[in-house]
Amino acid sequence: MPTVVDCPTCGKKVEWSEKNKFRPFCSERCKQIDLGAWAEEKYTIPGAIPTDPLEEDKQ
């Protein structure tokens, strides 16, 4: 039995298989909407604030 997931963009049920070239999305449109959201920085990946190596040398 194939795995079925929700499209991350619209929530439509999508079969996770090789025949779905847009997986995990249901369509090219939903895939592009998600890519656009990343490009507009609507999504972020949390991480530590980088330290400035030049500031460490001053201490």
10: annotated binding-site residue?
yes
12 is in an annotated binding site: no
Reduced 3-state DSSP string for 4-58: EEECCCCCCEEEECCCCCCCCCCCHHHHHHHHHHHHCCCCCCCCCCCCCHHHHHH
Q: Is 55 annotated as a binding residue?
A: no
Q: Residue 40, annotated ligand binder?
A: no
Can you say which residues are annotated as belonging to the binding site? 7, 10, 26, 30
Can you say which residues are annotated as belonging to the binding site for Zn(2+)? 7, 10, 26, 30
